[in-house]
Amino acid sequence: MNPRGLSAASPRAWLALAAALLLLLLLWVSGGSGSELRVLVRLSDGQITQEVLEADSERDIITLEFRQADGALITFLADFRRHVKVLRALVLGEPERGQTQYQSLCFITRLEHGEIIPSEAMVRLRQKNPHVVRTAEEKHGVERTTLNVAVNLTLSWHLSSHIRNVCRDARDFIYTREQDMKHWLEKGVGGSIFEVLSQKMEGPGLQSCSSTADPWQPCLCSYSLRLEWYPCMLKFCRGHGPSPYKCGIRSCSKGYRYDFYTPHKQLCMWDEDS
């Protein structure tokens, strides 16, 4: 906003602005242990999507789901108890081009402390005006991650009991980072759940899928997505009491780029030169 325009505004304009800001507010309520919040979010290409945020403070999880403009369904799950984060992409294929109907990818990494607000705060979040289209207050760059370890779906409950449900369709496309695997192994998670792919990835001549022509050739696939709006921090206000109290959230946007091994270029259909 133009600050000069603001300072020149009449008191009535100020009132209107204050009212508009109030409508944007997300409110705190006291309630049960589960909740669902549907918010309208503007995607980077200008399209609007409905994002569903679900929280369960008893199981200590938050899930967030939305459809991208290209039809891909993105699901994010934070398991606070196990400090595990799951990002799943359900990518639509083009059957008329010989591709499968859809392909599911699952990226599992450690959930860092403070990445997203706690589940017990999320269950108390409500919005006053569900028609407001939201954009994040804080825009973060793209975090690029190389995933060179495959995770066995059947044994994935050792990491988090929620992986089996979220990554059901991904089967052979469940990946994690080597450094996260090492961390989990140190914590006592059995090694049989992981398959290290780094030898395949560092093998001679492995190219990016976008520069590979042969559909049966192995290659390095990449997938990018952006969580356009999520509650990343709690806001505190000062009242009459001695200590500040929770009065809202700060929203963030963050991009992710995952690079991973795929045995056939055909399984990386979105990664094409265009």
Ligand X SMILES: *[C@@H]1O[C@H](CO)[C@@H](O)[C@H](O)[C@H]1NC(C)=O
CA 205 to centroid of chain Cα atoms: 32
| Residue 189 interacts with ligand X (CB under 6 A): yes or no | no
DSSP string for residues in the chain = --HHHHHT--HHHHHHHHHHHHHH-EEE----SEEEEEEEEE-TTS-EEEEEEEEETTTTEEEEEEE-TTS-EEEEEEETTTTEEEEEEEEE--GGGT--SEEEEEEEEEPPTTSS--HHHHTTEEES-TTPEE--SEEEEEEEEEE-EEE-TTTGGGT-TTHHHHTTTTTT-EEE-HHHHHHHHHTT--GGGEEE-HHHHHSTT--BGGG---TTS-EEEEEEEEEEEEEEEEEEE--SSSS-EEEEEEEEEEEEEEEEEES-GGG-TT----
d(C-alpha 84, C-alpha 122), whole Å: 17
For ligand X, give the closer residue by CB, 132 or 155.
Answer: 155
For ligand X, give the closer residue by CB, 120 or 169.
Answer: 169
For ligand X, give the closer residue by CB, 130 or 191.
Answer: 191
Neighbours of 231 (CB within 10 A): 25
For ligand X, give the closer residue by CB, 2 or 199.
Answer: 199
Give the nearest distance from C-beta 204 to ligand X in angstroms: 25
Give the nearest distance from C-beta 164 to ligand X in angstroms: 12
Number of residues that bind ligand X (CB under 6 A): 3
Give the nearest distance from C-beta 157 to ligand X in angstroms: 11
Give the nearest distance from C-beta 216 to ligand X in angstroms: 20
Which range, of 140-148, 149-157, 240-248, 260-268, touches ligand X by CB under 6 A?
A: 149-157
Which range, of 27-35, 56-64, 147-155, 181-189, touches ligand X by CB under 6 A?
A: 147-155
Task: Figure out which of the listed residues 152, 161, 210, 217 binds ligand X, where binding follows CB under 6 A.
Answer: 152
Placement of tokens 């859809």 in the chain: 102
Task: Figure out which of the listed residues 25, 40, 73, 155 binds ligand X, where binding follows CB under 6 A.
Answer: 155
| Residue 154 interacts with ligand X (CB under 6 A): yes or no | yes
Give the nearest distance from C-beta 184 to ligand X in angstroms: 16
For ligand X, give the closer residue by CB, 179 or 192.
Answer: 192
Residue nearest ligand X (C-beta atom): 152
Neighbours of 95 (CB within 10 A): 10
| Residue 208 interacts with ligand X (CB under 6 A): yes or no | no
Give the nearest distance from C-beta 170 to ligand X in angstroms: 12
Give the interface with ligand X as residue ranges (CB under 6 A). Answer: 152, 154-155
